[in-house]
Chains A and B, each alone.
Chain A
Amino acid sequence: MKLDTSGLESAAPVWGAPSELVDGFSAAPSFEVPNTTDFDGFQKEAIQMVKPAKGTTTLAFIFKEGVMVAADSRASMGGYISSQSVKKIIEINPYMLGTMAGGAADCQFWHRNLGIKCRLHELANKRRISVTGASKLLANILYSYRGMGLSVGTMIAGWDEMGPGLYYVDSEGGRLKGMRFSVGSGSPYAYGVLDNGYRYDMSVEEAAELARRSIYHATFRDGASGGVASVYYVGPNGWKKLSGDDVGELHYKYYPVMPSTVEQEMVEVAGA
């Protein structure tokens, strides 16, 4: 069966395609234009329908020891919880992680594709690609599909020669470098706990606990987030999964049931 490599090329030709013999600049980038006068409204309804609300909570932050990445594991379709065990932290390669928010298929496919591109870069240049470079490759691909209905809100976290790196990349083509990010419908709740408890010089355990609690609190308040809170750590030797705790159990760990004082007790009456 012939391998489908169409995913390896961008749909819209980017300028400067190196396969042309003539100067790459002179050919103006072009792609087929829909046969309509209203370009902004074209397929708007369809795109709005396809664009899910990114029902999830993912977060990542850089601290002294490296990068901490955490996510929930619930997939929802409207009010229906379709799965409680989705892997939202995608392993691009042994030293880089990506998070999934938005369309699951889009995130999985393009992260896999990014992994391929990173490996090819390694083979050609005899050195690992930087987190900057990897996130830029992904952002360029997503930009070239802008307006075509992709839904990806991802964070690329990794450790390269410059140390820990964290970038937020989305399907609008945006790319931001930062120290703390949270993406998804539960992100406001996660930010509340994360921003409050964050210190740059935390230990790995402290940072993991902060990440775990942030995800837990987001799942507590956001209906579209839940399942298992996974926490990954990216250090100089690559990433390592630290924990995966069911948020229901975390709830009782943080808020154990207190035996309440009893005012009246039912007494067992001996058989009369």
Chain B
Amino acid sequence: MARYDRAITVFSPDGHLFQVEYALEAVRKGNAAVGVRGTDIVVLGVEKKSAAKLQDSRSVRKIVNLDDHIALACAGLKADARVLINRARIECQSHRLTVEDPVTVEYITRYIAGLQQKYTQSGGVRPFGLSTLIVGFDPYSGVPSLYQTDPSGTFSAWKANATGRNSNSIREFLEKNYKETSGQETVKLAIRALLEVVESGGKNIEVAVMTKEGLRQLDEAEIDAIAAEIEAEKEAAEAAKKAPPKEK
């Protein structure tokens, strides 16, 4: 199999694209990112590694805007992310210019996924080492959406999903606990999912909320408050379980 490891993405005899699979490995090593869709809101949460003391944490934004109504979070190689995000931002504006309409979430996801696929089928390049979570509101129907793309260039819509480190456990949690929520409930669900694998606290996670009005980054204090709420709820649930039911 070593012969099919080369820089160009070619098929192996048993039908694998090893470069793409190695790219997925890179994603698995990246920080955890979770997205949850509600009825009127979509929430993105990303694990933040503890900032070095001298680093200006405001320059390390992990959840970015692609347009007024679309945001993106990713797991994997951050430098690759920058390139992909720039191309997506240009495409959002180019679409506005040529058809005088903002992009739909599906359109820009298809574009990003198409770009990622192109790099798996060209000479001398390697695939992008990141999976993205793209959220936004459809400018026409006002429906919220959450999409995920991966290095192979596939994409699909999700009610809730996670990518990056420990994404399997987060996804399991979401599958068990997902239900249609709105507003603050959705935010809580996203943070609860992320806290399954991340140390609790506002300084370890970055959360942003997309509503019809646009993207809003939650500040540390808010996240701490919600995390505290979640803790309290968890303790209450534990206590209720421990106290034996009194009725016969």
Residues of A within 8 A of B (CB): 16, 18, 21, 23-25, 121, 124-125, 127, 129-130, 132-133, 136-137, 140, 161
Contact = CB atoms under 8 A, between A and B. Distances in A.
Contacts of A21: 118-119, 122, 125
Contact of A132 (B90, B101, B107, B110): B101
Interface of B: 86-87, 90-91, 94, 98-101, 104, 106-107, 110, 118-119, 122, 125, 140
B140 A23 contact: no
A78 to B, nearest CB: 39
Given A23-B86, A24-B90, A25-B90, A130 B101 contact: yes
Majority secondary structure, B binding face: helix
Nearest to B107: A125
A133 B101 contact: yes
Contact of B98 (A23, A25, A127, A137): A137
A207 B246 CA distance: 80
Majority secondary structure, A binding face: loop
A136 B98 contact: yes
Contact of B90 (A16, A129, A136, A140): A16
Given A130-B101, A136-B99, A136-B100, 5 more contacts: A24-B90, A124-B110, A125-B107, A130-B99, A132-B101
A133 B90 contact: no
Nearest to A24: B90
In the complex, the 3 A-B pairs of residues with the closest C-beta atoms, listed nearest first: A133-B99, A132-B100, A16-B94
Contacts of B94: 16
Contact of B100 (A24, A124, A127, A133): A133
B140 A161 contact: yes
Contacts of B101: 130, 132-133
B42 to A, nearest CB: 20
Given A130-B99, A161-B140, A23 B119 contact: no
Contacts of A140: 98
